Amino acid sequence: MSLKIKKVLILGGGTMGQQIGLQCAVSGFDVTIYDINEDFIKKAEERLPRLAKKVADSGRFSHEAAKQGVKRVKFTTDPETAGKDADIINESVPEDPKLKGKVFAQFNEICPEHTIFTTNTSTLVPSMFADASGRPEKVCALHFHDLQLTNVVDIMPHPKTSEETLEIVRQFTKDIDHYAIELKKEYHGYVFNNMLSTLFSTALTLASREVASYEDIDKAWMGVLKAPIGPFGMMDSVGLETVWKITDYWANTLNDKQSKKNAEFLKKFVDDGNLGIKTRKGFYEYPDAAYFKPEFLKGVK
Ligand SMILES: NC(=O)c1ccc[n+]([C@@H]2O[C@H](COP(=O)([O-])OP(=O)(O)OC[C@H]3O[C@@H](n4cnc5c(N)ncnc54)[C@H](O)[C@@H]3O)[C@@H](O)[C@H]2O)c1
């Protein structure tokens, strides 16, 4: 292993791109966040200091480290500026294998030969777009969770990922203070997400079939497990557009009737612009969501 990573490029400045960029910057790396959309990149730049404070409040890192980290992040919509000296890429563009392949192919033309390309895909596998990168041996998944929840990260190679790439990525996860779960082979949804997507799909089926309200479904989960959040609260945190995109993609790929119904159920929220915590309204209204309050589970012992 010889590559010393200094510059990190994040592709996509949405929910995850901002969080991953922030964690890398707080850990001392120079970070560029690239997005195709001028408005979104402005919003990401405005939001980063607030996000940094919120994550520091959760105890992930100190407020001073957060402040210094924010200063290390650059924002751009110019691909040349973004990619020309990147050592590692982590892409967080929407969950669509064609789009992910397209951005990897685009940055293959711009980035130095040594640049490692990682994907933060939730449910796809890297071999679906590794060849499009023109450097499949330098591609693997590096998949993050919500920074405020955990520092667990998944590393997942595809059949052409080189051992050298994996070693560099393993070291990088340590350098950004993350704990890696390494998969032995490609598997859609990694480990935790596999369990989570089954939970989401079951919860959506119960709600879309009108078996119970989404509040009651969350109350069942929270009340029995003494958990601080239920599946619909978690979906608000992930972002309903992302949950819809993933549900819709797999519903069509597997031609599954119930999953299509679940996607339709989610689409109504997306069409109304209620995308979850990031728009302050999804299944619940934020910042004072009902499930944060003790009355939500009043009487549960
Ligand atoms: N939200 C989560 O909790 C979560 C967790 C882990 C992984 N993921 C995965 O991360 C990825 C992104 O999810 P998100 O929730 O951050 O989505 P998001 O919708 O919040 O952000 C996506 C961003 O990508 C940008 N984009 C679209 N096309 C682009 C392009 N060609 N080049 C550069 N930027 C482009 C959009 O403008 C947007 O700002 C998805 O693959 C998702 O499955 C999400």
Average pLDDT over the chain, rounded to whole?
96
- How far is ligand 1, taken at its centre, from the CA of residue 17, in Å? 7
Best mutation site among 9, 10, 16, 152 for ligand 1 pocket (most ligand atoms within 8 Å of CB): 16
The per-residue pLDDT for 182 is 97
The per-residue pLDDT for 1 is 59
What is the per-residue burial (b if ≥16 Cβ within 10 Å, else e) of 80-115? eebbeebbbbbbbbebebeebbebbeebbebbeeeb
The residue whose CA is least distant from atom 28 of ligand 1 is 93
The sheet with strand 152-156 has its strands ordered as: 73-76, 30-34, 7-11, 88-91, 116-119, 139-144, 152-156, 179-182
Backbone angles phi, psi at 135, to 5 degrees: -145, 55
The per-residue pLDDT for 149 is 86
Query: Is the torsion defined by CA of 204, 208, 214, 220 positive or negative?
Result: negative
Residue range 193-215: average pLDDT?
96
Antiparallel, parallel or unpaired: β 139-144 and 152-156: antiparallel
Residue range 176-185: average pLDDT?
97
Paired with 75 in beta bridges are: 33
Cα 128 to its chain centre, rounded Å, is 18
Does position 2 have pLDDT exceeding 90, yes or no? no
Best mutation site among 75, 78, 106, 122 for ligand 1 pocket (most ligand atoms within 8 Å of CB): 122
Q: What is the band of 287 on the pLDDT scale with cuts at 50, 70, 90? A: very high
The residue whose CA is least distant from atom 20 of ligand 1 is 14
Residue range 14-29: average pLDDT?
97
Does position 6 have pLDDT exceeding 90, yes or no? yes
Spatial neighbors of 52 by CB under 8 A, at least 6 apart, are 22, 26, 66, 67, 69, 70
Cis geometry, peptide bond prior to residue 287 (ω within 30 degrees of 0): yes
- How far is ligand 1, taken at its centre, from the CA of residue 12, in Å? 6
- How far is ligand 1, taken at its centre, from the CA of residue 169, in Å? 21
For residues 235 and 217, the answer to whether their CB atoms sit within 8 Å is no
Tokens of 138: 């330098």
Spatial neighbors of 234 by CB under 8 A, at least 6 apart, are 196, 200
Radius of gyration of the chain from its Cα atoms, rounded to whole angstroms:
19
Residue list, ligand 1 pocket, CB within 6 Å = 11-17, 34-37, 40, 92-95, 103, 120-122, 143-144, 146, 238-239, 241-242
The residue whose CA is least distant from atom 37 of ligand 1 is 37
**Rounded percentage of the chain residues whose pLDDT exceeds 90:** 96
74-109 confidence digits (pLDDT tens): 999 999 999 999 999 999 999 999 999 999 999 999
- How far is ligand 1, taken at its centre, from the CA of residue 106, in Å? 17
35-49 confidence digits (pLDDT tens): 999 999 999 999 999
Pick from 238, 248, 245: nearest CA to 278? 238
The per-residue pLDDT for 148 is 86
Residue with tokens 């993933």: 246
The per-residue pLDDT for 172 is 98
The CB density around residue 191, as the number of other CB atoms within 10 Å, is 14
Residue range 136-153: average pLDDT?
95
Does position 3 have pLDDT exceeding 90, yes or no? no
- How far is ligand 1, taken at its centre, from the CA of residue 193, in Å? 16
222-251 confidence digits (pLDDT tens): 999 999 999 999 999 999 999 999 999 999
Does position 130 have pLDDT exceeding 80, yes or no? yes
- How far is ligand 1, taken at its centre, from the CA of residue 237, in Å? 14
The per-residue pLDDT for 289 is 97
Residue with tokens 């667990």: 152
For residues 214 and 207, the answer to whether their CB atoms sit within 8 Å is yes
Q: What is the band of 139 on the pLDDT scale with cuts at 50, 70, 90? A: very high
